[in-house]
Amino acid sequence: MRLGVLDVGSNTVHLLVVDAHPGARPLPAYSHKAELRLAELLDEDGAINDAGVERLEATIHEALQVAEDKGVEEVLPFATSAIRDATNGEAVLVRIAQETGVELRVLSGEDEARLTFLAARRWLGWSSGRLLVLDIGGGSLEIAYGLDEEPDAAVSLPLGAGRLTSSDLPGDPPGSDDVRALRRRVRAEIARVVSEFSRYGTPDHVVGTSKTFKQLARIAGAARSAEGLYVQRELTRKKLEEWVPRLAGMSADERAALPGVSEGRSRQLLAGALVAEAGMDLFGVETLDICPWALREGVILRRLDHLPPSTP
């Protein structure tokens, strides 16, 4: 069957169309993205402003039309921290349902961590052993650890690259005092949860998922996306530590000129790098693997798990 995953995130609204069957690997058929950066469209009270809601509504209408055009049988709509943390999140959900017919499922941070972990486990397989999965989104950082498909520990922290850029890194490039202050804040927040994971022992593999880690690996020398999903990509802490001060001294336009960095994400790459560096350092990680599957694939896999084997 052809499924569409509609992901309303902090940075983008992303419709991923896949051909999926129980017991088989989901095959991407089409991808449609619109950059909204909802995390940056908040008023002083933390509510998504009227312009943001209107843009979200229009974008969902557009995504639904694309899904229809591509022959999608079922759309799986969900939202993450941008809606979850907005003070008017419930009102936004009601309006979107009334105006578009889409009832967005708001995932908790722990849900995000667990579904991303599932995707990484299915991609890497059982032979990868104990996994530690780090996922830096626009609004939050998810961390999960485990040996099976359900992690033993899963947490979500408000350390998304877009959120931190908006709240803590004014200026282009930002001032050195702001960068140091954010570095301290990020490390303090991550340090509070390290013990929740360390009691389970040393992981066999550490995995980074989603756009921030992919871009950091690319500028550190990993293979281009054009070389395919199955090329092994990794990010070392040594390389990352070399890049953080360089990114801090660059403007957004200069970062956008780096290999693999999109213009829409260039401004928040520094915040993402600070979170990635802190996570790797505090968890004692020298090298992590980049996994091409993340939250959207986890949502698809969980849906397929609930389909009968005979479903065509």
94 and 113 inside one domain: no
pLDDT of residue 20: 87
Say if residue 253 is in the same domain as residue 171: yes
- 215 and 78 in a common domain: no
> Is residue 213, in this structure, part of any structural domain at all?
yes
Tell me: pLDDT of 220 over 80: yes
**Is 309 among the domain residues?**
no
Position 269 pLDDT exceeds 60: yes
For residues 274 and 245, the answer to whether their CB atoms sit within 8 Å is: no
Would you state the pLDDT for residue 21?
85
Q: Which two tokens stand for residue 151?
A: 């992690």
Pairing type for strands 131-136 and 141-146 reads: antiparallel
Domain count, the chain: 2
Are 99 and 55 contained in the same domain?
yes
Other beta carbons less than 10 A from residue 64's beta carbon? 19
Query: Taking 70 as the threshold, does the pLDDT of residue 312 lie above it?
Result: no
Q: Which of 87, 106, 125 is the last residue of a domain?
A: 106
The string of pLDDT tens digits covering residues 82-109 is 899 999 999 999 999 999 999 999 999 9
Region 5-11: mean pLDDT is: 91
What confidence score (pLDDT) does residue 64 get?
97
Segment 146-202, tens digit of pLDDT: 999 999 999 999 999 999 998 999 999 999 999 999 999 999 999 999 999 999 999
Which of 53, 86, 106 is the last residue in one of the domains? 106
The DSSP call for residue 300 is H
- The residue-averaged pLDDT of 197-215 equals 95
Residue 286 lies inside a defined structural domain of this protein: yes
The string of pLDDT tens digits covering residues 33-60 is 998 888 777 788 889 999 889 999 999 9
200 is written with which tokens?
A: 């389970």
Q: Are 72 and 221 found together in one domain?
A: no
- Identify the CATH number of the domain in which residue 187 sits: 3.30.420.150
Residue 308 lies in a domain: no
Both 93 and 114 in one domain: the answer is no
- Predicted confidence at residue 307, as pLDDT, reads 74
Tell me the percentage of the chain whose pLDDT exceeds 90: 82
Same domain, 141 and 200: yes
Q: What is the pLDDT of residues 105-124, one digit of tens each?
A: 999 999 999 999 999 999 99
Cα end-to-end distance, the chain, whole Å: 6
pLDDT for residue 131: 98
What's the pLDDT at 78?
A: 96
By residue range, what is the domain housing residue 93? 2-106
How high is the pLDDT of residue 184? Answer: 98
At residue 308, the pLDDT reads 67
Backbone angles phi, psi at 14, to 5 degrees: -125, 120
Do the beta carbons of residue 11 and residue 267 sit within 8 Å?
no
209 in Cβ contact with 119 (< 8 Å): yes
Tell me the two tokens of residue 266: 């260039």
| pLDDT tens-digit series, residues 277-303 | 999 999 999 999 999 999 999 999 999
Same-domain pairing of 85 and 28: yes
